[in-house]
């Protein structure tokens, strides 16, 4: 594979929207070829003089790449909130960053350049860093891929919608998906076409079924030519799509000529399988993986299979550095990159120069290997959080596997949670409260409720049980995501026999996570008693 020479992207220009085709290059573009020519006096642009930027330098204290342990410790018994103290970042180890207005060497990152107007694709230092990362980690399977900055995946996706989709078209999505992505496209008359999922996210069988049986009249729209997919740490289900499934989906997209937009914020938060405390004999190896070993341990990006250039990959620093940076990047074919660039020129332009300069300086200071080291630490932190939260569920509820057969694709198991609380006097009838598949990546646990067979379900109102439970949780002091907001099915209603909730373990302190599970147990107990 190493010595295989990749070809260029195929011509996919027929996928461009009318809006995108109508974009003309900025009339100022002609100027650009002379820009930067040594000795030229440029009086053409409307540039403010850097003398008037009211900053002489920007200084920051970055953390060091090894601020968090690279891996989880070898042995952990029971719950482990005590570990948190050991595992929290050292507040002391920092690396100083100084960005002067005027550089000592012309190639240094400097404010005169980063706070000035620039080309919308982003500043060269940061582009170089993300291109190196894309090349070494995602390994696109064609030669002439391009990278270009955007202002985070929200911005990246909206621009992709505008570039690819016309009013009245549909976009293939997971049946449960990120609500903002749908909110971005709907006002343009672009509607989601949900595809059924399993423990690995989108089902390739269901995808083929949707495409092969497409009836334009019945559906009221042409067969979709764009897919929106969150393949790792799927939002809201936490599923991870592995190599074989991605290849199947990619091949179907070749067959049906579909552009895949891969929105992948949680790529480096791959936590692997959850092992319940009762079966946890050891916990991680405690050994840091080498860089190549680490990359190989991660589910590959769709780019890895993209020999035609039909994937637009969206990367973001939101979950690996900080969401307030509003910084991310595209990897896609040169034709799409050029159209996306034209769009950026008339909207965001380049992402904010402060963010670009500070993030670029940090990543250059850390170097490629240092950034990977940071990501290894981050992945371990989220694995600890995931495990801690599910351990809490295991201690407050009685958990059983739904069936002795593991999920055939991921090895994940579906757990069914029963109440542990005893009911005064009454004979306790064991009934399931909810079920879930521990997430293998990302920030979310997705709980599935089945209210079927409870005597008062009809009486309480078929449409509102999920909402009633959501309100009961909130009144009880716990705010979680009600499942219906994640449905890509326009006619979906939490229909009374089913309900879902998305719970995020990414942000709260460990004791708050523990308390949240206490509240859940109490609220659920009462809720089911009233059913």
> Which member of 154, 173, 419, 484 binds ligand PLP (CB under 6 A)?
154
> Which member of 69, 122, 194, 265 binds ligand PLP (CB under 6 A)?
265
> Which member of 87, 114, 142, 178 binds ligand PLP (CB under 6 A)?
178
In the 8-state DSSP scheme, what is residue 138?
Answer: I
Spatial CB neighbours of 358, under 8 Å, sequence gap ≥ 6: 58, 60, 97, 99, 325
Backbone angles phi, psi at 355, to 5 degrees: -60, -50
**Residue number with CB closer to ligand PMP (90 or 349):** 349
For the CB of residue 316, give the shortest distance to ligand PLP in the complex, in Å: 3
Tokens linked to 181: 């992505």
The binder of 152, among ligand PMP, ligand PLP, none, by C-beta within 5 to 8 A per type, is: ligand PLP
Do residues 512 and 504 touch, judged by C-beta distance below 8 A?
Answer: no
Write out the residues near ligand PMP by the rule CB under 6 A: 46, 349
**Residue number with CB closer to ligand PMP (155 or 264):** 155
For the CB of residue 362, give the shortest distance to ligand PMP in the complex, in Å: 25
CA distances from 189 to 165, 168, 186 (A): 9, 5, 5
For the CB of residue 303, give the shortest distance to ligand PLP in the complex, in Å: 17
**Residue number with CB closer to ligand PLP (156 or 300):** 156
Q: How many Å apart are CA 296 and CA 102, to the nearest integer?
A: 41
Grouping H, G, I as helix, E, B as strand and the rest as coil, residue 89 is coil
- Exposed e or buried b per residue across 101-118, where buried means at least 16 C-beta atoms within 10 angstroms of its C-beta: beeeeeeebbbebbbbeb
301 binds ligand PLP per the rule CB under 6 A: no
* CA nearest to 315, candidates 155, 504, 162: 155
Window contacting ligand PLP (CB under 6 A); options: 86-94, 137-145, 151-159, 273-281: 151-159
The binder of 300, among ligand PLP, ligand PMP, none, by C-beta within 5 to 8 A per type, is: none
Omega of the bond leading into 236 within 30 degrees of 0 (cis): yes
374 binds ligand PLP per the rule CB under 6 A: no
The binder of 46, among ligand PLP, ligand PMP, none, by C-beta within 5 to 8 A per type, is: ligand PMP
Grouping H, G, I as helix, E, B as strand and the rest as coil, residue 159 is helix
3-state secondary structure 161-204: HHHHCCCCCEEEEECECCHHHHHHHHHHCCEEEEECEECCEECH
Show the binding pattern over residues 211-230: x = contacts ligand PLP (CB under 6 A), - = does not: -------------------x
* CA nearest to 231, candidates 435, 481, 442: 442
The binder of 122, among ligand PLP, ligand PMP, none, by C-beta within 5 to 8 A per type, is: none
The binder of 382, among ligand PLP, ligand PMP, none, by C-beta within 5 to 8 A per type, is: none
Backbone angles phi, psi at 524, to 5 degrees: -65, -40
In the 8-state DSSP scheme, what is residue 117?
Answer: -
Do residues 411 and 202 touch, judged by C-beta distance below 8 A?
Answer: no
For the CB of residue 259, give the shortest distance to ligand PLP in the complex, in Å: 17
> Which member of 203, 318, 357, 380 binds ligand PLP (CB under 6 A)?
318
The binder of 154, among ligand PLP, ligand PMP, none, by C-beta within 5 to 8 A per type, is: ligand PLP
The binder of 328, among ligand PLP, ligand PMP, none, by C-beta within 5 to 8 A per type, is: ligand PLP
DSSP 329-379: EEEE-HHHHHHHHHHHHTTT-SPPHHHHHHHHHHHHHHHHHHHHHHHHHHH
For the CB of residue 328, give the shortest distance to ligand PLP in the complex, in Å: 5
328 binds ligand PLP per the rule CB under 6 A: yes
Return the bridge partners of 445, or none. Answer: 503
169 binds ligand PLP per the rule CB under 6 A: no
> Which member of 162, 235, 357, 380 binds ligand PLP (CB under 6 A)?
235
In the complex, the residues that contact ligand PLP under the rule CB under 6 A are: 152-154, 178, 230, 235, 263, 265, 316, 318, 323, 328
């Amino acid at each position: 594979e190493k010595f295989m020479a990749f070809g260029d992207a195929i011509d996919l220009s027929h996928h461009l929207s009318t809006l995108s085709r109508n974009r003309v290059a900025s009339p100022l573009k002609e100027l650009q070829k002379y820009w930067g020519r040594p000795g030229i006096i440029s009086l053409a642009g409307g540039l403010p003089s850097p003398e008037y930027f009211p900053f002489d330098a920007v200084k920051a204290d970055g953390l060091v790449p090894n601020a968090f342990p690279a891996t989880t410790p070898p042995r952990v018994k029971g719950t482990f909130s005590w570990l948190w103290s050991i595992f929290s970042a050292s507040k002391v180890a920092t690396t100083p960053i100084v960005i002067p207005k005027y550089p000592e060497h012309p190639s240094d990152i400097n404010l005169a350049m980063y706070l000035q107007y620039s080309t919308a694709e982003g500043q060269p230092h940061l582009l170089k860093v993300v291109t190196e990362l894309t090349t070494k980690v995602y390994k696109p399977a064609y030669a002439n891929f391009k990278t270009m900055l955007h202002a985070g995946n929200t911005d990246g996706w909206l621009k992709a919608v505008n570039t690819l989709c016309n009013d009245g078209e549909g976009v293939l999505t997971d049946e449960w998906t990120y609500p903002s992505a749908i909110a971005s496209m709907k006002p343009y008359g672009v509607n989601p076409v949900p595809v059924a999922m399993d423990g690995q996210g989108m089902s390739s069988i269901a995808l083929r079924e949707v495409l092969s049986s497409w009836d334009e009249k019945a559906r009221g729209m042409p067969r979709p030519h764009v897919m929106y997919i969150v393949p790792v740490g799927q939002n809201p289900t936490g599923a991870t799509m592995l190599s074989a499934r991605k290849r199947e989906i990619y091949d179907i997209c070749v067959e049906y000529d579909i552009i895949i937009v891969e929105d992948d914020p949680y790529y480096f938060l791959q936590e692997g399988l959850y092992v319940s405390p009762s079966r946890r004999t050891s916990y991680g190896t405690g050994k840091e993986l080498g860089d190549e070993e680490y990359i190989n341990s991660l589910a590959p990006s769709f780019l890895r299979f993209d020999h035609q250039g039909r994937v637009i990959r969206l990367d973001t620093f939101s979950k690996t550095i900080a969401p307030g940076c509003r910084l991310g990047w595209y990897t896609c074919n040169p034709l799409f990159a050029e159209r996306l660039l034209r769009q950026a020129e008339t909207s965001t332009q380049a992402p904010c120069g402060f963010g670009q300069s500070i993030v670029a300086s940090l990543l250059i200071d850390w170097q490629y290997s240092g950034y990977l080291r940071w990501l290894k630490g981050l992945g371990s932190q989220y694995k600890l959080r995931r495990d801690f939260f599910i351990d809490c569920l295991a201690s407050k509820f009685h958990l059983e596997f739904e069936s002795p057969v593991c999920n055939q694709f991921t090895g994940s198991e579906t757990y069914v949670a029963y109440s542990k609380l005893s009911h005064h006097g009454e004979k306790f009838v064991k009934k399931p409260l909810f079920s879930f598949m521990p997430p293998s990546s990302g920030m979310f646990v997705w709980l599935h409720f089945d209210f079927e067979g409870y005597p008062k379900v009809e009486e309480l109102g078929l449409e509102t049980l999920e909402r009633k439970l959501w309100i009961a949780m909130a009144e009880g002091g716990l705010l979680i995501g009600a499942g219906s907001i994640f449905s890509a099915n326009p006619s979906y209603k939490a229909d009374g026999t089913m309900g879902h909730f998305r719970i995020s373990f990414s942000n709260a302190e460990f004791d708050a996570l523990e308390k949240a599970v206490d509240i859940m147990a109490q609220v659920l107990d009462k809720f089911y008693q009233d059913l």
